[in-house]
A and B are shown apart, each in its own frame.
Chain A
Amino acid sequence: MRLKKLLELRKRPIIDQWFERVIKSYAPDTAQFIKNQKDPFSNPFGSVLSKGLAVLFDQLLTNPDSETVKRSLDPIIRIRAVQDYSPSQATAFILILKNIVRENIKNELQDSQTANELLQFESKIDALSLVAFDIYMACKEKIYDLKTNTERNKVYKAFERAGLLTETSEPDPGLQRS
């Protein structure tokens, strides 16, 4: 419980540092925009990031609720999945939190109980990272689904227009016509 108290006391600076480290993965002009533009409709990423990181940190301080975690993580990963990042780069911002926490409590780590609690806390960060990976994959799979459906619809519709499917009473159930 010592660690929890320490982290609750330093919550704001830790979340702020986390936010700063995430936006450093963008070009400087972009990072400045993500940080300074406060309107959520002009800056969707900055908005979901600042809200999401705060919720995720709170969740890590308690017994994380998997639905709440997914709800906060999904919008962040969903955006990074379509940006110019490799899978590791898109999800690495979770693990960055380990360093930030260590830096913030390095003077207290001499205390064995705190150090022990930190190991447990970091395990939760690891678990969060795995959830992030699942979400990232789901986003990519959705992208590939959309691409596949686009291509399949082209072929299907071409056949249909050519009158080659006139005997087919039902559309192929595997195809989503959109």
Chain B
Amino acid sequence: MSDLPTPEEMLKVDHRPPSAGWMDSPVEIRKGIACYAGNPKSLEAVGFPNPRTWSCFDEDWQLPENWQEILHEGFKERLERFRSFRVFMDICVRCGACADKCHYFIGTGDPKNMPVLRAELLRSVYRNDFSKIGKILGKLNGARPMTIDVLKEWWSYLFQCSECRRCSVFCPYGIDTAEITIMGRELLNLLGLNIDWIITPVANCFRTGNHLGIQPHAYKDMLDFFADEIEDITGVRLEPQINKKGADILFVTPSGDVFADPGTYTCMGYMMLFHFLKENYGFDITWSTYASEGGNFGFFTSHEMMKRLNAKMYAEAKRLGVKWILGGECGHMWRVIHQYMDTMNGPADFLEEPVSPITGTKFENAKSTKMVHITEFTSDLIKHGKLDLDPSRNDHLKVTFHDSCNTSRGMGIFEEPRYVIQNVCNHFYEMPRNTIRESTFCCGSGSGLNAGENMELRMAGGLPRANAVKYVHEKHGVNMLACICAIDRAVLPDLMDYWVPGVDVTGIHEMVANALNLPGQNERDTDLRGEPLPGIEGQTEEEADEG
């Protein structure tokens, strides 16, 4: 028996990497992990270099002849321009605190997805090109020249990072590895190396105003369609204001809320809230078919592109002459507003410091950007007793809350969404502490990685998040995962389908609207999704009493 080959030998399952170091293990670009290359027309639309049809699975990536020089110069320019970048290149002591904090590492088991190693991809070239010791000692000092294999490794792993910044929470030096990915992607863009799921939304947003390239009339059609749906459910006809000059407030939300389920129900939620406020308090807010995108995929290409897209929202606010901007449930829109807007396009001094016209609350945190997050706005309304809520209409939901990376780590919103949820739902359960708030796990599809072709990567990257949802699903019967990000709403249903069937995904304002009593409404039989309300049969008397 001992002469027979073992199953491991027969199957060659022992595929541990060779004993050679990570630098000598060439990257394998795999289907299921990699995203398709950017459409050249989209690159042309925004004036990005080297537009051509190419594939990451090809040997030849059709780079410009002097690509190494372009990268070197681009690297040098950014080291001079961004002090943080140079500091992050120099100060890592490779302590390993970040190593096991990345959801892509935890899910894929690929050590090159350890944040420290992903950053080493850039640092190794930095040492070679910009450090004297690195030039002299070479590999001994962890330095290596930029070659085509290194470039492919950069491309592969910089698009296996969702810039979620969980690793940065644990770094004793405060290194923000997401910033390193951001710089790395910016450098790749100098060579025309991008993915289509990022660059085409960027081009659409730049030209038409939103990621999908929806034109103004179609945007209005969708809001009208939602008004019809709301009328069917509540008996109340509402008329959203669109492109209204002189309105008090401009509302900007990701286009995913308008065009992609289940975000569409969140969109209906915003509309019902605004109608309620208009009827009761004369609230004056307008939607815009031009600032029809809160999301900013430019953030995933370059600082300049991010600035161009962000500026459109403010230009529209100026054109309409509003006082301030209310922002919907979005992820990276808020990171851009909170961390970059003021430096890039601020101060927005043509707007007023936001004050709630209903409660008088001054949103001092938005003093400079003039933009208020809708959960801040709604929680303030609830706190002042301004909403008429019947949380029992959400009694069929057992809810948990996923802190979106951008709003939690990117801007510190922790309490407001929870406060709103707990006032519109009766059943709320937190996921384990080390998977929420500042330690939240990414959905696995952020920073433009929410494509279809990289589904294995998305499922692996979303494992830690799904694993925590599974825990509360099994322990408390949680059946609804709430979030305040349009990418979350787009990708978490797939993630739940694979890891935790039986859990659906919602935005918070969908639940707000389900609980909200509109003036003059009919008795409701269903929620916004058309699902029968809990115990609707045989409970009409109680409901009548409540009403």
**Residues of A participating in the B interface, judged by any CB pair closer than 8 Å:** 21, 24-30, 33-34, 37, 39-45, 78-79, 82-84, 88-89, 92-93, 95-96, 98-99, 102, 109, 139, 142-143, 146-147, 150-151, 154, 157, 161, 177-178
Choose among A29, A43, A151 the residue that contacts B452 (Cβ–Cβ < 8 A): A151
Known A-B contacts A42-B106, A150-B452; A142 and B463 likewise in contact (beta carbons under 8 Å)? no
Kindly specify which of B1-9, B265-273, B327-335, B514-522 makes contact with the partner chain: B1-9
Choose among A89, A151, A161, A177 the residue that contacts B214 (Cβ–Cβ < 8 A): A161
A29 CB to nearest B CB, Å: 5
B416 is an interface residue with CB less than 8 A from chain A = no
Q: Point out the residues of chain A lying under 8 angstroms from B15, CB to CB.
A: 25, 89
Q: Is the CB of A39 within 8 A of B30?
A: no
B188 is an interface residue with CB less than 8 A from chain A = no
Q: Is the CB of A178 within 8 A of B106?
A: no
B13 is an interface residue with CB less than 8 A from chain A = yes
Q: Point out the residues of chain B lying under 8 angstroms from A89, CB to CB.
A: 11-13, 15
Q: Is the CB of A177 within 8 A of B261?
A: yes
B99 is an interface residue with CB less than 8 A from chain A = yes
Q: Is the CB of A30 within 8 A of B111?
A: yes
Q: How many A-B residue pairs have CB under 8 A?
A: 126
B363 is an interface residue with CB less than 8 A from chain A = no
Q: Is the CB of A24 within 8 A of B6?
A: no
Q: Is the CB of B7 within 8 A of A143?
A: no
B210 CB to nearest A CB, Å: 12
Q: Point out the residues of chain A lying under 8 angstroms from B262, CB to CB.
A: 178
Q: Is the CB of A27 within 8 A of B111?
A: yes
Q: Is the CB of A29 within 8 A of B114?
A: yes
Q: Point out the residues of chain A lying under 8 angstroms from B453, CB to CB.
A: 147
A103 CB to nearest B CB, Å: 9
CA distance A81 to B378 in the complex (A): 42
Which of chain B's residues 10-50 have a Cβ closer than 8 Å to chain A?
A: 11-17, 28, 30, 32-33
By CB atoms of chain A within 10 A, which of B111, B261, B432, B453 has the most? B111
Kindly specify which of B173-181, B294-302, B493-501 makes contact with the partner chain: B493-501
Q: Mark B471-504, 1 if CB is under 8 A from A, else 0.
A: 1000000000000000000000110011100000
Q: Is the CB of A84 within 8 A of B114?
A: no
Q: Point out the residues of chain B lying under 8 angstroms from A42, CB to CB.
A: 100, 106, 434, 464
Q: Is the CB of A41 within 8 A of B435?
A: yes
Kindly specify which of B85-93, B349-357, B454-462 makes contact with the partner chain: B454-462
CA distance A109 to B1 in the complex (A): 11
Q: Is the CB of B471 within 8 A of A41?
A: yes
A71 CB to nearest B CB, Å: 11
With A44-B463, A147-B453 already in contact, 9 other A-B pairs whose C-beta atoms are closer than 8 Å: A25-B14, A26-B109, A29-B99, A33-B100, A83-B460, A89-B13, A92-B8, A96-B8, A143-B498
Which of chain B's residues 171-226 have a Cβ closer than 8 Å to chain A?
A: 214, 218
26 contacts between A and B (CB under 8 A): A25-B15, A27-B16, A27-B109, A30-B111, A41-B432, A41-B464, A41-B468, A41-B471, A43-B100, A45-B109, A79-B460, A82-B108, A82-B456, A82-B457, A82-B463, A84-B30, A84-B108, A96-B8, A96-B13, A99-B6, A102-B1, A109-B1, A143-B32, A146-B494, A157-B260, A178-B494
Q: Point out the residues of chain B lying under 8 angstroms from A150, CB to CB.
A: 452, 455, 494
CA distance A84 to B457 in the complex (A): 10
CA distance A154 to B200 in the complex (A): 14
* Chain B residue nearest in CB terms to A162: B218
Q: Point out the residues of chain A lying under 8 angstroms from B455, CB to CB.
A: 143, 146-147, 150
Q: Is the CB of B498 within 8 A of A29?
A: no
CA distance A104 to B109 in the complex (A): 29
* Chain A residue nearest in CB terms to B101: A42
Q: Point out the residues of chain B lying under 8 angstroms from A78, CB to CB.
A: 498-499
Choose among B8, B14, B100, B108 the residue that contacts A99 (Cβ–Cβ < 8 A): B8
* Chain B residue nearest in CB terms to A22: B13
Q: Point out the residues of chain A lying under 8 angstroms from B74, CB to CB.
A: none
CA distance A79 to B464 in the complex (A): 11
Choose among B16, B99, B259 the residue that contacts A24 (Cβ–Cβ < 8 A): B16
* Chain B residue nearest in CB terms to A33: B100
Q: Is the CB of B452 within 8 A of A82?
A: no
The 9 A-B residue pairs with the shortest CB-CB distance, nearest first, are A150-B452, A95-B7, A44-B467, A92-B13, A82-B460, A82-B459, A29-B111, A30-B109, A82-B456
Q: Point out the residues of chain B lying under 8 angstroms from A102, CB to CB.
A: 1
By CB atoms of chain A within 10 A, which of B17, B100, B259, B457 has the most? B100
CA distance A146 to B16 in the complex (A): 30
Q: Point out the residues of chain A lying under 8 angstroms from B464, CB to CB.
A: 41-42, 44
B110 is an interface residue with CB less than 8 A from chain A = yes
CA distance A82 to B30 in the complex (A): 12
B114 CB to nearest A CB, Å: 7
B240 is an interface residue with CB less than 8 A from chain A = no
B196 CB to nearest A CB, Å: 12
Q: Point out the residues of chain B lying under 8 angstroms from A154, CB to CB.
A: 452
Q: Is the CB of B106 within 8 A of A43?
A: yes
Q: Point out the residues of chain A lying under 8 angstroms from B235, CB to CB.
A: none
Q: Point out the residues of chain A lying under 8 angstroms from B467, CB to CB.
A: 40-41, 44
By CB atoms of chain B within 10 A, which of A24, A109, A177, A178 has the most? A178
Q: Point out the residues of chain B lying under 8 angstroms from A79, CB to CB.
A: 107, 460, 463
CA distance A121 to B33 in the complex (A): 38
Q: Point out the residues of chain B lying under 8 angstroms from A24, CB to CB.
A: 14, 16
CA distance A92 to B15 in the complex (A): 12
Q: Mark B105-120, 1 if CB is under 8 A from A, else 0.
A: 1111111001000000
Q: Point out the residues of chain A lying under 8 angstroms from B107, CB to CB.
A: 79, 82-83
Q: Point out the residues of chain A lying under 8 angstroms from B7, CB to CB.
A: 92, 95-96, 98-99
